Amino acid sequence: MANALVGLVLRHDAVEVVQLARGLGGTKVVKSARAAVADGNLAAAIRSAMGTAGITAKRVAVALPPQDVLLRAFSIPPIPRSEVDTAVQFEARKYLPFKLTDLVWDYAVVPRSDKQITVIFAAVERAALLRIQESLRAAGLEPLCIEPCSVSLARAVQRARQQPPQRAAAAVNITGDSAHIAIVREGKVYLAREVRLTAEPDASQSSETSDPRAMRLASELRLSMEFFAREFADTPVERVLLFGEPTLVTRWRQELAAGLGCAVESAEGGSLALAVGLALRAADRSAPFDLLRRIAQPRPSTAREALLGHPVFERASKLLASMNRPVLGLCLAAAVAVVALMWMAGARQLVSEHRRLELAVHSRPEVGFGLAGRSQADLEPVRQRLEDHLAFLHRIIEERTPLASKLDALARTVPNGIWLTSLSYQDELSAAGQSQAMLSLQGACFLDGEGPEMSAIREFEETMKRNKAFSEGFSSVQLQEISVKSTPKQRYTYRTFQVHCRKELAL
């Protein structure tokens, strides 16, 4: 089919494929299928999905699994266009746990009214991208382009036309056990996250009971929207667009709207929206974030390779190659003579400096605190004072409370529904060198009810007391204060608490 557009969405557990046909009325989905990835065999899953859908096209647009892609937005000052690439690499290193030479990356720039430039940077490990290319070849396919799935989702938002382009929207693609969140403005992705959702609720629960997956998604959406609001205060997220499984979108829409306090809408496209947005990429080959085009470019050179490739070295090599042997021999002889003269001058200066050093050594005062001429009886009090100081230092070391092991034990103790908001630690010494350590914790608990929250906080206190790795060295672990607080607009209440752990001074 000459006008066919095919999009292949890759996930770690499944693949989705759609084929669009272009006509006078626009584009429409004509074929689609989904196949699970069994035993990590991505090529087999791709062949299965293509066969089930009956798609014979060999050239496809590909979206990468969201877990494989790092996407970040940051700002750089206005600089000439020729220097943007270098500036982006320099700034991106602050956010990457990998070397740039191990990544395939691309970026888009967005000018701002405050004379800054927003850079949207996306990267994937080169080895992971090469494995995906190998799976595509094994499945008999040739990629037209390879992009992050969040970019495909942003294109689906533009296609839905449910949000003014200059406004920010949170697009969510729901697949049952996971949800992909992308905050989009003017067709660009400023933040992308993949969220694992909890298990499906029991069938015995009533229909009015909140789905824990929806509650988890609302919490993650709120965090993402608040982070975006801090980073880009001029454009708050005004609405949420839900894509994905229609039953979950319909069931969760009202619950998410109540939890987030903003408009939540079911977007056009349903469960195929992301794949459709990807397939439309095949018609726009000039769009940014084509990692296939970037991997075809030469790998960034190391500092040594860049130095050897410098024009100065190239010109020197050509000059040496153009010289005949007699001329080259004369040049080498002259160079050796110059080096010999420089060595002789340096040797003379080295001898002079060596003499100055010997003079300085011989003229330095004797050190040793005048102990050499003192008797054993005179040195005994000095030895005693040194041993007292050494014993004092040993006592200080033994009295110190090991903090790292306690923080590790604390992190393993915090239960679901409780989170820590503040931690302070002091370990002052008494005049006798005894530790007076104090660890203060502040936290909060939300379990949708006074009884469960109070019980959880009390149980957390008892758990800390019983945990020897945490409580050892403290003479007391006490819950000091419990108070009630509420979220903005009084929508929910939760409890905060303080716990003080002390090591009392032994009298």
Task: Report whether 243 contacts 274 (CB < 8 A).
Answer: yes
Match 């302070």 to its residue by tokens. 424
CB 31 within 8 A of CB 55: yes
Tens-place pLDDT, residues 166-179: 789 999 999 878 89
Phi, psi of 304 (to 5 degrees): -65, -45
pLDDT digits (tens, 9 = 90+) for 342-389: 888 888 888 878 877 877 766 665 555 566 667 778 778 888 888 888
pLDDT score, position 507: 39
d(C-alpha 374, C-alpha 435), whole Å: 38
* Average model confidence (pLDDT) across the chain: 82
pLDDT tens digits for range 284-342: 767 788 888 888 766 555 445 454 455 555 566 566 556 556 766 777 788 888 888 88
At residue 412's C-alpha, the angle toward residues 407 and 415, to 5°, is 120
- Give the pLDDT of residue 35: 94
Question: Where is average pLDDT lowest: 34-43, 136-145, 364-373?
Answer: 364-373
Measured distance CA(74)–CA(233) in Å, rounded:
14
User: By 3-state DSSP, what share of the chain in percent is helix, strand and coil, each rounded to 5?
Assistant: 45, 30, 25
Cα of 159 vs its chain's centroid, Å: 29
DSSP state at residue 143: E
Per-domain residue ranges for the chain?
Answer: 65-199+219-295, 303-339, 399-502
pLDDT reported for residue 329: 73
Per-residue confidence band for 272, with pLDDT thresholds at 50, 70 and 90: confident
Residue 433 in contact with residue 506, Cβ under 8 Å?
Answer: no
User: Which residue pairs, CB below 8 angstroms and at least 24 apart, start in 395-398?
Assistant: 395/433, 395/434, 396/429, 396/433
Give me the phi and psi of 186, to 5 degrees please: 55, 40
Bridge partners, 419 (sequence order): 444
What is the per-residue pLDDT across 75-98, written as a single tens digit (0 to 9) for each? 888 888 888 888 888 888 887 777
| Topology given in CATH for the domain delimited by 399-502 | Threonyl-tRNA Synthetase; Chain A, domain 2 (3.30.980)
The C-alpha atoms of residue 271 and residue 366 are separated, in whole angstroms, by 86
Backbone angles phi, psi at 313, to 5 degrees: -65, -40
Find where tokens 């000018």 sit: 111
Tokens describing residue 17? 């494929």
Rounded to whole angstroms, the Cα distance separating 168 from 163 reads 8
Whole-angstrom distance, CA of residue 26 vs CA of residue 186: 22
Q: pLDDT tens across 234-252, in order?
A: 788 888 999 988 899 999 9
Tokens of 38: 């069994």
Identify the CATH class of 65-199+219-295: alpha beta
Q: Which amino acid is at 272?
A: L
* DSSP class of 378: H
Q: Which two tokens stand for residue 412?
A: 């393993």
User: In this structure, what token pair is assigned to residue 76?
Assistant: 């750089």
Do 399-502 and 65-199+219-295 have the same topology in CATH?
no
499 compared with 280, residue with greater pLDDT: 499
Query: What is the CB-side half-sphere exposure of residue 471 using CA atoms within 13 A?
Result: 15
Q: At what angle do helices 42-53 and 126-138 cross, to 10 degrees?
A: 50
Window from 62-76, 255-269, 367-381 with minimum mean pLDDT: 367-381
Model confidence over 387-441: pLDDT tens digits? 888 877 776 666 555 677 888 888 888 888 898 988 888 877 776 667 778 889 9
Question: Higher confidence at residue 212 or residue 365?
Answer: 212
Identify the three-state secondary structure at position 481: strand
3-state SS class at 391: helix
